[in-house]
């Protein structure tokens, strides 16, 4: 099996549940606490592509609104904002090989294992 990485926030219930699910499957993933080690714009661009979504779909709406940032539809600007404000990144993100998914609900990750 290829390496598994989880972009994880230990304070998030879904993120903790997803990490536990991976470990229950016998997988010890590479854990990236993205609030401590935020992904850069290039990494975020790759994550969005792997997930098969648009950048705005990776935004946590409530956290984004709390920053009171001006609205934008520019995908590059949205990625730049996620790199600057990692708390607005939806979580958890699990990557395995050339596949990725959001662990909302945690069982979603079973599709890429």
**Inter-residue contact 47 to 58 (CB < 8 Å):** yes
Alpha helices in 35-96 (DSSP H): 41-51, 61-66, 75-84
Which residues does the annotation mark as catalytic?
12
DSSP three-state, residue 26 = coil
């Amino acid at each position: 099996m290829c390496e598994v990485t989880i972009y994880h926030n230990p304070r998030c219930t879904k993120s903790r549940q997803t990490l536990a699910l991976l470990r229950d499957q016998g997988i010890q993933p590479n854990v990236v606490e993205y609030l401590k080690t935020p992904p850069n714009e290039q990494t975020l661009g790759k994550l969005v592509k792997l997930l098969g979504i648009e950048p705005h779909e990776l935004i946590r709406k409530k956290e984004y609104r709390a920053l009171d940032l001006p609205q934008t539809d520019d995908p590059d600007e949205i990625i730049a904002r996620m790199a600057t404000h990692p708390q607005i990144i939806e979580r958890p993100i699990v990557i395995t090989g050339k596949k990725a998914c959001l662990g909302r609900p945690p069982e979603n990750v079973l599709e890429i294992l």
